[in-house]
Amino acid sequence: MFQLLAVCPMGLESIVAKEIQELGYETQVENGRIFFEGDENAIVKCNLWLRTADRVKIVMGQFKATTFDELFEKTKALPWESIIDQQGNFPVQGRSVKSTLYSVPDCQAITKKAIVERLKHAYNEKGWLNESGAKYPVEVSILKDKVLLTIDTSGSGLNRRGYRLAQGEAPIKETLAASLIKLANWTGDTPLIDPFCGSGTIAIEACLIAQNIAPGFNRDFVSEEWNIMPPNIYDDMRDEADKHANYDREIQVYASDIDPEMVEIAKRNAEEVGLADIIQFSVKDVNTLTIDTEEPIALIGNPPYGERIGDRDEVEEMYRYIGTLMKQHDYLSTYILTSNKEYEHLVNKKATKRRKLFNGYIECTYYQYWGKKPQTKKES
């Protein structure tokens, strides 16, 4: 069993923890960190299935350190050989916040040296370690003198699903897009509209959720090359994930954008993941959007924020029109991520629920408006 760690942006901890719990593991939550225990199967399962986490890491140790000697000795005391093989390549990254050991390059060098000494002793190596084998990315993270040492099992971030061939100027990360859908509790039972689709990320992630397709199905992970992982475990679990996918489920997802070039990019990305025939793409100005159904429908979007002065009037007009749509359609639920503090004023309606999130380094609010639910026959 390993102590494992899923990392995520601030504000998404509960969503990631819920995903991990649904996979069968108990969680402990801190800011941006969800700790849990699991074996090799857990490492593979979480890398393949977590939609909202950034990475899955093995926790090697946690301790307090205020001197470089302390950092060296406590790092060296950890069982690195239980994970890193004799030819393992283990680059060390670091960060330090509000700590006595504030020099990140020095912390990285000390950590690296300590691991080298431990592995040389464990493998009875007299000279240099050649590090010609599999990669084991190590991170030393120090916060208020508390050291956290981890090995990354994912490699590139879990947002790298492998389908985004191209993107626009300010793309939303796939993990954040999936989080917006999860927070809206949308599962595919009702139609979904994204009128600001950009490169198509929200629409694509919505389809993956609705058809129960593992988000990591079409990519590789750094831990696939590790000796500690049973042979073919990733391939076997990919086959298992494929059996659980509901590729034939009929869902209604509509994605549009005012920019024809972005719509073409979104189509190509959808084709890459096999969803081009499901998502209905169109070139459309949101101010001309009409909704012709009296049934429940969801609008989930990451519109322009109007950060640039020249765009502000145009963006505010767009927000007002969303307010108009909500007044016209009682069963319309809208979920909008924006940094605009005046959003509720512009749509002339208080949100049912708000959540502070970060789109990259931009602080945003996710405004959630729940539409009416249709009455059941018994209620009628």
Beta bridge partners of 58: 4, 151
- With beta carbons less than 8 A apart as the criterion, state whether 61 and 149 touch: yes
Question: What pLDDT shows up at residue 374?
Answer: 76
- Find all residues with CB under 8 Å of 301, minimum gap 6, and list them: 194, 195, 196, 202, 334, 335, 336, 337
* CATH class held by domain 174-214+245-369: alpha beta
The region that residue 230 occupies, defined by phi over 0 for left and psi between -120 and 50 for alpha, beta otherwise, is beta
Q: Mean pLDDT over residues 109-114, rounded?
A: 97
Q: What is the pLDDT of residue 5?
A: 98
What pLDDT sits at residue 380? 47
Domain limits, the chain:
2-152, 174-214+245-369
- Residues 216, 245: contact at Cβ < 8 Å? no
Per DSSP, the chain holds a count of helices (H) and strands (E) of: 10, 14
End-to-end CA distance of the chain: 54
Could you give the CA distance from residue 7 to residue 35 in angstroms, rounded to a whole number? 9
Q: Does residue 366 contact residue 336 with C-beta atoms inside 8 Å?
A: yes
Q: Is residue 368 within 8 Å of residue 354, measured between CB atoms?
A: yes
Domains 2-152 and 174-214+245-369 share a fold: no
Residue 137 tokens read as 């990315």
Average pLDDT over residues 31-59: 97
pLDDT at 366 over 90: yes
pLDDT of amino acid 76: 98
The β-bridge partners of 335 are 300, 368
Placement of tokens 């765009």 in the chain: 311
How large is the average pLDDT for residues 147-175? Answer: 90
**Which CATH fold topology does 2-152 show?**
VC0802-like (3.30.2130)
Amino acid identity, residue 372? K
| Rounded Cα–Cα distance for residues 72 and 183 (Å) | 43
The predicted-structure confidence for 280-331, as pLDDT tens digits, reads as follows 999 999 999 999 888 999 999 999 886 654 578 889 999 999 999 999 999 9
From 21, 34, 57, 14, select the one nearest 179 (Cα to Cα).
14
> Does pLDDT of 175 surpass 60?
yes
Q: What pLDDT shows up at residue 126?
A: 87
Euclidean distance between CA atoms 47 and 205, whole angstroms = 16
> In which residue are the tokens 């519109």 written?
303
Instruction: List the single range of 12-16, 39-43, 135-139, 358-362 with lowest mean pLDDT.
Output: 358-362
Mean pLDDT (whole number) for 66-92: 97
- The torsion of the CA quartet 228, 231, 235, 237, rounded to 10 degrees, works out to -60
Cβ atoms of 87 and 132 within 8 Å: the answer is: yes
Q: In the predicted model, is pLDDT for residue 377 greater than 70?
A: no
Confidence bin at 200 (pLDDT 50/70/90):
very high
